[in-house]
Structure 1
């Protein structure tokens, strides 16, 4: 009975797991460990480099990034960088952003549950669908886009605190503070206060008996908006991206509100008809507004304001809204579904109910159809294109790191708009030290001996092939397997807890050994292969001795050979990221399993619901 009563919490947890697991799967399939575009300047040059060289100041967190002050995205990135032991891992950032998106979905479910009462299952279904479908794939694949999820999170909490609670209660102060924080992610975060100000202003004007209750929130919104408008950053070179006239603005505005039918701006009238009708009906009737109605109206106004902000700042030529804005625009679907719920006619109005359900069915069918079209025609092709480009980008960046030849970047597919600037960043020795593991391992180890070293550059049997296009050391040469001897490297140190070495060949056969020899240790820490790699590459992970160490490779068998790639450190965050991405299916399966429990309990309750009477 208790589980049946609390089925909502099980469904909420299940939906959270499904959203998180699906986003992990998307990152695993289409994500890249190579930093992309703005990450090189805003994170590598402005944050991690200065942090690593002890030149970091708190003021850098608040410095403008284009039109925005991405304080919380920088804090998240810096926290992950420190947690990952000074190693940059964009995939870890993307996973953290996926967790943040999941938290936003959970908060949305908790916030809007009060509106739908006994229909919370349908609410969670729509939230799950809107968060799972990859409309906003840019925000999922690029951890740097966490600013959008922070803004959504803080805006929802502001709604909860300032709309649903009286002034000066702790919930009100919490909403005010976190609403203020929304601006320090995406500049349009300030629009939550514009929406709340509009609604509270209307109540102040119409509800004369309760004006004193609304006045503190109105003043709070005005003060915060004045502060945030003063902090806005004009970006001169982005003027070309703005709508150049009213027609361009209206075209992008229509496309944004038409979501998911973003290529048909006039569909916006149909898409937002339920919300528009709700607002006009309330204005006409002039009835006191319930908290639930206030919540839906404020949320709807906020979505419209966000669409207007997108259209003004990025509406040049009447452009389509970019993928990164679609996580915001998708909330418009929720708003209009909730408007339908609030407009639901009384049961006795049979004729009105027929009209209502007919229009609702048409609206729902059109919305689902256009959602499907957007995924098939926009999201999936864009994801495939992104994945293909990422493969070329990692190949070209690795080629530069190996050769230091800028021609490997010029005119090629690279993760930055300028080959010269990217080459400068990649040439910085400090940046090279904290690059992701996939961009490490290009500096060949040097031997501490002058003789008896059989390990030569790319000494492997030809069918094995290079490891990730890197130069490696191996004991196979022109004479075949017969070379014997020992390689002992110069001392090196790595920060991370785990050291990974890729191996090919016959390590594990008698006389073939590879290991780490920590300074002062009596014996090396040998790799123990579970099976022979043969002509494939297998990676092994060893604990870092946390002191200077040498790589020792021994070949005392004339019948076999082996080769190894250069060691690279793996931070604890990189290890977690790899595990989570390869086990995304388990999280999805757990979510589906939990989702079945409430239905099973409900059926069990029905099957055991019979009258207990004495036989006559």
Structure 2
């Protein structure tokens, strides 16, 4: 982030952060209900609160400051994941590979859109809220406080991203799995699941509809399936649909676990919840963003990390199955192929993503220079540029925003060096 981000806000930040939040806040016109206004299909309450907090703390509007705060939330999810595993499992042997998958997935630049732009904190928040909910459902379901914390985390997830409505459904999946294996469900748990389901349904039917986004929806069943298989294959690259086999080991172990109906551990329940949540995210993305979707936007990589960690866990669990020598060799071969594919793809993607990051920084520096020139000269031609030469899609509207004297007092444009022509 320190190497590639710039201080100048980008794209949605001008409308959602400045016009919709900071300007009304400075002018004393911001109302409490404004924090819940929809941004596209989403209600981004935690992101708005963080934006106000960083502005209150620094007195300026600076994308880099927001992005630095994002690091705390982005790191919290892998940290919480690893802490939970270390607390409940003896980390030996292949389990160290799961830790490596989590750390590398959380620190390599796969979701570079999210850490370059402070406004993208929604993805970090929803991951953290979901993982915390699943940990409580798997490890602390019998505590008196667990119900209220799960309800709060589910509600705040819904108010973070549109797909946050899948958080209560993933928690329900964990409770149903526990009831299935224990052959028992309490009235308290049943009531909690009904409330969680009602929350998810209410969130879906009150979700804002953006007509301009309908063109992004998958238009045919084959388009939907092909996008879904490509998402299942992440982090593998390529257009071949066979990469969806990355999920087969995890699905096989879960199916076997359900069929044999043996008692399972808390970590298995947690990973089952992570798998369920990511599977629902994949289905939602495949439908909502499936039209002509050959390459997944980097920001969505964040929501696939919990599922990748869960698949890694179940691949390791496969190796504990005792059977004939041929079966054992086959299982170990699958495990080796899985982790080689994951780490090779990590390396391959990182090389390409760092190349993209350099290109992105060059574009952002050009945008910074053009905005700086406009503020110095008020010459419209300096921002009347095509493509991504300015940080907003409409030059006229950008001019109107930049002419605001209140903005000029708080906007920070750093001293980044303009790239050589």
TM-score using structure 1 length: 0.64
On the 8 A contact 1:204/1:215 being kept in 2, the answer is no
Alignment of 1:192-341 (within 5 A): 192-201=167-176, 203-204=178-179, 207-212=182-187, 214-341=189-316
Structure 1 match to 2:3: 29
CA–CA separation in structure 1 for the residues paired with 2:417 and 2:270: 53
CA–CA separation in structure 2 for the residues paired with 1:219 and 1:106: 31
Structure 1 match to 2:328: 353
Structure 1 match to 2:358: 384
Shift of 1:345: 2.6
On the 8 A contact 2:45/2:160 being kept in 1, the answer is yes
Alignment of 1:565-584 (within 5 A): none
CA–CA separation in structure 1 for the residues paired with 2:264 and 2:325: 25
Residue 41 of structure 1 pairs with residue 15 of structure 2? yes
For CA contacts below 8 A with separation 6 or more, give which structure has more relative contact order. 2
Shift of 1:82: 0.6
Residue 420 of structure 1 pairs with residue 396 of structure 2? yes
Shift of 1:150: 0.6
Alignment of 1:97-176 (within 5 A): 97-113=70-86, 116-119=89-92, 121-166=96-141, 169-176=144-151
On the 8 A contact 1:253/1:265 being kept in 2, the answer is no
Considering fraction of residues, name the structure with more strand: 1
Shift of 1:227: 3.2
Shift of 1:192: 1.8
On the 8 A contact 2:230/2:244 being kept in 1, the answer is no
Shift of 1:265: 4.9
Residue 57 of structure 1 pairs with residue 49 of structure 2? no
Shift of 1:215: 1.3
Residue 95 of structure 1 pairs with residue 75 of structure 2? no
Alignment of 1:546-565 (within 5 A): none
Paired residue for 1:432, among 396, 399, 408? 408
CA–CA separation in structure 2 for the residues paired with 1:342 and 1:227: 37
Give a deviation string over 1:168-201, Cα, whole Å, max 9, x none.
6213321221122111111111112222223434
Shift of 1:158: 0.8
Residue 69 of structure 1 pairs with residue 43 of structure 2? yes
CA–CA separation in structure 2 for the residues paired with 1:209 and 1:156: 25
CA–CA separation in structure 1 for the residues paired with 2:154 and 2:185: 24
CA–CA separation in structure 2 for the residues paired with 1:320 and 1:348: 40
Shift of 1:292: 2.1
On the 8 A contact 1:199/1:298 being kept in 2, the answer is yes
Structure 2 match to 1:12: none
Considering fraction of residues, name the structure with more helix: 2
How many positions carry a matched residue from both structures? 414
On the 8 A contact 1:196/1:298 being kept in 2, the answer is yes
CA–CA separation in structure 2 for the residues paired with 1:180 and 1:429: 38
Shift of 1:330: 2.9
- The structure-2 alpha-carbon separation of the partners of 1:199 and 1:28, relative to structure 1 and needing over 3 Å to count, comes to closer
Shift of 1:161: 1.8
Shift of 1:312: 1.6
On the 8 A contact 2:174/2:273 being kept in 1, the answer is yes
Q: Unaligned regions of 5+ residues in structure 1, if any?
A: 1-26, 440-466, 470-616
On the 8 A contact 1:203/1:211 being kept in 2, the answer is no
Give a deviation string over 1:150-179, Cα, whole Å, max 9, x none.
101100111022232235621332122112
CA–CA separation in structure 1 for the residues paired with 2:83 and 2:147: 17
- The structure-2 alpha-carbon separation of the partners of 1:318 and 1:67, relative to structure 1 and needing over 3 Å to count, comes to same
Shift of 1:362: 1.4
CA–CA separation in structure 2 for the residues paired with 1:126 and 1:208: 34
On the 8 A contact 1:241/1:313 being kept in 2, the answer is yes
Larger Rg: 1
On the 8 A contact 1:244/1:317 being kept in 2, the answer is no
Shift of 1:349: 5.7
SS in 1 for 2:292: helix
- The structure-2 alpha-carbon separation of the partners of 1:436 and 1:369, relative to structure 1 and needing over 3 Å to count, comes to same
Q: Unaligned regions of 5+ residues in structure 2, if any?
A: none
* The 10-residue stretch of structure 1 (195-204 or 73-82) with the greater mean CA deviation from structure 2: 195-204
CA–CA separation in structure 2 for the residues paired with 1:215 and 1:114: 28
CA–CA separation in structure 2 for the residues paired with 1:314 and 1:126: 26
Shift of 1:37: 0.2
- The structure-2 alpha-carbon separation of the partners of 1:139 and 1:78, relative to structure 1 and needing over 3 Å to count, comes to same
Give a deviation string over 1:234-288, Cα, whole Å, max 9, x none.
1111111221222222122111111012423524432111211112112321223
